[in-house]
Structure formats: structure tokens, C-alpha cells
């Protein structure tokens, strides 16, 4: 029986990995850009409002709680019904506040148009709707 000599070639690398501190955190999480927020809001709202999956996966707990408390209206649309069409305006980003927002316009069968403001935290991961403020 022939014995193979053992090599210590990998041992120094293994020890080095164990004693080398992990790299420091690179800083704050990446922030969403105005373009990313615009795409998110357009996809989220679509033509007639968010899907059940989007309502579950892309909405802050604050908004979920608001919806639970307000059974009379859809807090994500500031309405009681489904609109005929939805448009998302230009996104404004306030990095110091850590938030981006856009005016969302809903179009209704009667020719009525309503607006509300949709807010997204810049550091949300995954990106999600953080709050909605109805216009009136």
C-alpha cells in the first residue's frame, strides 16, 4: 500500500479566511432612482389598479393596516371602484427625506378624473408602495 503525502498548501488559505475580518458594510442600501420608481408605479397600478399579488408583496405594512381599518374604500386607489384607466405622472425624488413620489391620475366612466400621491421609500427592498395620500 502506497501512502500519499499530505499537502499543507490549502491550510494557509483556510486559516487566512478564518482570521480575516469580513469586509465592512459598503454603506446604505442602494436607493431607487426616479426611473425605477416610475416603472414600479406604472407596473404596480397598471390600467385598472394593483393585482392581489402586488397588494400582498409590494405594499408597506402601514398601507396594509390602513386598508384593514378602512373597509369602505380602496386606500391604494383612493376610491370605491375600479377605474377605467390609470396614469402615473413624473416622479420626484427627495434623497434627504429618503422618499420618491408621483401623482397618480385615475379616469372614471363618468369622465371624472381624480388624483392622489403615491410614495415609495428609496431604500425599500424589494421596492414597494409606502404610502398614499388622497387629494381630497
Asked if 74 and 80 count as a contact pair (C-beta separation under 8 A), the reply is: yes
Strands ordered across the beta sheet of 129-134: 85-94, 99-107, 113-121, 129-134
Structural domain contains residue 17: no
Q: How many domains does the chain have?
A: 1
Q: Is residue 19 over pLDDT 50?
A: no
Structural domain contains residue 126: yes
Structural domain contains residue 97: yes
DSSP of the chain: -PPPPP--SSHHHHHHHHHSPPPPP-SSPPPPPHHHHHHHHHHHHTTT---HHHHHHSB-HHHHHHHHH--SSBTTTTBSS--SEEEEEEEEEETTTTEEEEEEEEE-TTS-EEEEEEEEETT-SS--EEEEEE--
Structural domain contains residue 89: yes
Model confidence, pTM: 0.77
Q: Which residues does 62 contact at the CB level (< 8 Å), separation at least 6? A: 130, 131
- Mean pLDDT lowest among 11-25, 60-74, 117-131: 11-25
Which CATH number fits the domain that encloses residue 85? Answer: 3.10.450
Q: Is residue 10 over pLDDT 50?
A: no
Domain of 103, in residue numbers? 30-134
Structural domain contains residue 113: yes
Structural domain contains residue 15: no
Q: Which residues of 109-123 are buried (b: 16+ CB within 10 A; e: fewer)?
A: eeeeebebbbbbbbe
Structural domain contains residue 4: no
More confident call, 26 vs 91: 91
Q: What pLDDT does 35 receive?
A: 97
The mean pLDDT of 17-33, rounded to a whole number, is: 57
Amino acid at each position: 500500500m502506497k501512502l500519499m503525502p499530505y499537502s499543507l498548501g490549502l491550510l494557509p488559505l483556510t486559516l487566512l479566511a478564518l482570521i480575516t475580518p469580513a469586509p465592512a458594510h459598503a454603506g446604505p442600501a442602494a436607493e431607487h432612482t426616479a426611473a425605477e420608481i416610475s416603472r414600479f408605479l406604472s407596473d404596480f397600478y397598471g390600467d385598472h389598479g394593483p393585482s392581489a399579488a402586488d397588494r400582498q408583496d409590494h405594499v408597506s405594512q402601514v398601507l396594509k393596516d390602513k386598508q384593514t381599518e378602512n373597509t369602505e374604500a380602496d386606500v391604494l386607489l383612493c376610491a370605491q371602484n375600479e377605474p377605467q384607466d390609470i396614469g402615473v405622472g413624473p416622479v420626484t425624488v427627495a434623497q434627504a427625506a429618503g422618499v420618491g413620489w408621483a401623482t397618480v391620475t385615475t379616469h372614471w366612466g363618468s369622465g371624472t378624473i381624480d388624483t392622489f400621491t403615491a410614495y415609495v421609500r428609496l431604500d425599500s427592498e424589494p421596492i414597494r408602495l409606502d404610502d398614499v395620500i388622497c387629494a381630497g
